[in-house]
Amino acid sequence: MKVLLLIVLLGMLYFVDGISTCSFRTFACKLTCRVGKLFNKDCRKCDCESKPKCPPLCNRHCPNGHVIDSNGCATCECKSPVKRCPPVCPINCPNGKVLDRTGCPICQCRPVRPLFPKRH
């Protein structure tokens, strides 16, 4: 049978159960960790995780890959397909080329609008 001892020594409280010893000083860690704090058995250390622990990936097939979150972990969300436009003729258009219904440029220039429109 394990004996739980409560020892108050120099203003710090320790729980001794033969396995681990923690003080309140380890729980009052002032670090702000982006990923998370390190643990030592049941005691929290005053140290930050260096690498995020990614959750398990869902079983979803994404032909373009999964969206990556701010921690560098793959999410269950699929990446959008990359839109590829066909090559366009090499004409120079000062206002750019006309776009088709899919958003790709075609071999036709956008009309030039006059700086000073005619008044009727």
Phi, psi of 75 (to 5 degrees): -100, 180
Q: DSSP alpha helices (H): ranges in the chain?
A: 24-27
Question: What's the pLDDT at 53?
Answer: 76
> What is the residue extent of each domain of the chain?
5-48, 54-82, 85-113
Helices (runs of H) and strands (runs of E) counted in the chain: 1, 8
pLDDT tens track, the chain, 120 positions: 443 333 333 334 344 444 445 554 445 566 677 666 666 655 656 677 677 678 888 888 898 889 988 878 889 999 888 778 999 899 999 899 999 988 899 999 999 877 777 776
What is the rounded distance in angstroms from the CA atom of residue 104 to the CA atom of residue 68?
27
pLDDT for residue 101: 86
For the whole model, what pTM was predicted?
A: 0.33
H or E element in which residue 78 lies: strand 74-78
What is the CA 79 to chain-centroid distance, rounded?
14
pLDDT for the residue numbered 17? 42
